[in-house]
Structure 1
Amino acid sequence: MSKSLATILLVEDDPTLGYLLREYLTMNGFEISLAKTASEALQLLDSHIFELAILDVMLPDKDGFELAKNIKSIHPTIPFLFLTARSLKVDVLKGFSIGAVDYLKKPIDEEELVVRIKALLSRIQTTPKIETTEAATTIGKYHFHYKNQQLAFKNEKITLTKREAELLNFLVSNKNNLCTHKEILSTLWGKSDYFNKKSLNVFITHLRKYLQKDPAISIENVHKQGFILKIDD
């Protein structure tokens, strides 16, 4: 099975339209999680990583504009677009003022939706550059040799797994800057999903243990966003 193009949260209270859109987008290579209410959507956001949210404006428990504000406050990096039967200019302007990347009016043309999603993702998604080097890299009081998968502290050497070395190299290449869950998972795991995020947390725990001998080094967790490798000079 080919890798999904993106993980998308679809929020649509009409069961027929929701089903049709989910099936059509899935057939076109997207991984879709469907929610019928705002509360269901927020629950999914707590346990999954999404690259895009598609929001119906008229929901039974909260309108899509309010849901979008909730998403922005919790997951500011997730782009979102609106699907709605509302065609008033004031509603369209309100959607964009909140931060929507697009606004599509019902009835939806499924082919147009797929084209727009692909265009949006190609514009939004960027792959961070990971720098590699043949020589050892200094990390505080440690020396890290990415190619040999070794981390040294004084006379002690730790042999890392391939994934541990890749993750540490990613963090070092972006030291003192936020590395989002999506950036790390998309680059190293090839897919941002709930299970890979759990795996990422395990590897972060390993690296913290390896680096604990130098108090100037820390891997800080930014709640629901990602990690920062901080090195005090």
Structure 2
Amino acid sequence: MQKTKVLLAEDDYDFGSILKQYLMIHNFDVIWAKDGKEAFALFSADEHQHENAFDICVFDVMMPQLDGFSLAEKVIEHNPEVPFIFLTAKKMKEDKIRGLKLGADDYIVKPFEADILVLRLQNILKRSKKTIISSKNEHEYTIGKYVFDTINYQLKFNGETQRITEKEAQLIQFFYDHKNQLIKREDVLENVWGNDDFFSGRSMDVFLSRLRKYFKKDPAIAIESTRGLGLTFKVITN
């Protein structure tokens, strides 16, 4: 069975060594970079070998050469679908918001037990492996004036194509399956994020803003929030 390949970027030698060993014990294939610049070089090299590409990334925020946020931005340019987690000693609200806006799948504040990281990685990978395709033969859906391609992660509108991330596609799929229904926030979080904790809730708010921006060209589509109740993905059809 092929191991999950992890890119770990951590400049603290002792901490990085412990994390690598612990992840390897739990059957992860770990490539450890000592700074952001080295991490991006490793990521870029592996992206050219698609069969050997990284499955998930773990980035320390404070690193020499290239900090974790800047590293994530460069990684997203190459592959917006790869999930990633930030590790940080900071508890600053601004840092968490910046990580969320980048699309981080999780954010772990040091110090933490190594088994917490293992569990977070396993949960993220479990969610990312869930197929968003309800039928093998049907992979494109018409949503108002848009065409949603679930295989290539694309939203098409009037000849223009918007590439989206896997998480965005999962959220659109869930909304499409429950369109014109009031959905509880916790139900969206449980089905798309796997839990309904504070971090996931803030992350969902960022993704909702993105989806509203993507669908704004069609006035017949709206994502409405009802305080204390939930969300409605409205699609008005003639």
Shorter-chain-normalised TM-score: which range?
0.5 to 0.7
* CA distance in structure 2 between the aligned counterparts of 1:34 and 1:120, rounded to whole angstroms: 20
SS in 2 for 1:76: coil
1:70 counterpart = 2:74: yes
CA deviation vs aligned residue, 1:37-82 (integer Å, no higher than 9, x gap) = 1111111112221111000000111211111111001111111110
In the alignment, the residues of structure 2 paired with residue 29 and residue 21 of structure 1 have an alpha-carbon distance, to the nearest angstrom, of: 13
1:111 counterpart residue number: 115
Which residue of structure 1 lines up, in the alignment, with residue 41 of structure 2?
Answer: 43
Inter-partner Cα distance in structure 2 for 1:47 and 1:178: 23
Please show how residues 49-198 of structure 1 align to structure 2 within 5 Å: 49-126=53-130, 178=152
1:153-187 deviations in whole A, cap 9, x for unaligned?
xxxxxxxxxxxxxxxxxxxxxxxx649xxxxxxxx
Q: Does 1:14 align with 2:15?
A: no
Amino acid at match of 1:119: N
Equivalent position amino acid for 1:24 in 2: Y
Q: Which residue of 1 aligns with 2:198?
A: none
Deviations along 1:71-129, whole A, 9 cap, x unmatched? 00111111111001011111111111111010000012111111111011101123698
* Unpaired runs of at least 5, structure 2: 47-52, 138-150, 154-238
The list of structure 1 runs, each at least 4 consecutive aligned residues, that deviate by more than 6 angstroms after superposition, is 128-132
CA contact (8 A) 1:13 1:59 kept: yes
TM-score, structure 1 normalization: 0.53
**Structure 2 CA distance for aligned equivalents of residues 74 and 63 of structure 1:** 17
Distance change in 2, residues 1:88/1:131 (3 Å):
closer
- Which position in structure 1 is the counterpart of 2:176? none
Q: Distance in 2 between matches of 1:101 and 1:46?
A: 21
- SS of residue in 2 equivalent to 1:9: strand
When Rg is computed on C-alpha atoms for both structures, the one with the higher figure is 1
Aligned equivalent of 1:27, options 25, 32, 41:
25
Identity among equivalent positions (%) equals 35
- SS of the residue 1:54 aligns to: strand
> Given residue 96 of structure 1, which amino acid in structure 2 is its aligned partner?
L
SS at 2:108 equivalent: strand
TM-score (norm 2): 0.52
| Structure 2 residue matching 1:7: 3-state secondary structure | strand
Partner Cα distance (1:39, 1:64) in 2: 10
Contact preservation (8 Å) 1:3, 1:29? no
User: Contact 1:9–1:41 (CA<8 Å) still a contact in 2?
Assistant: yes
Quote the residue 1:197 is aligned against.
none
- Cross-structure match for 1:204: none
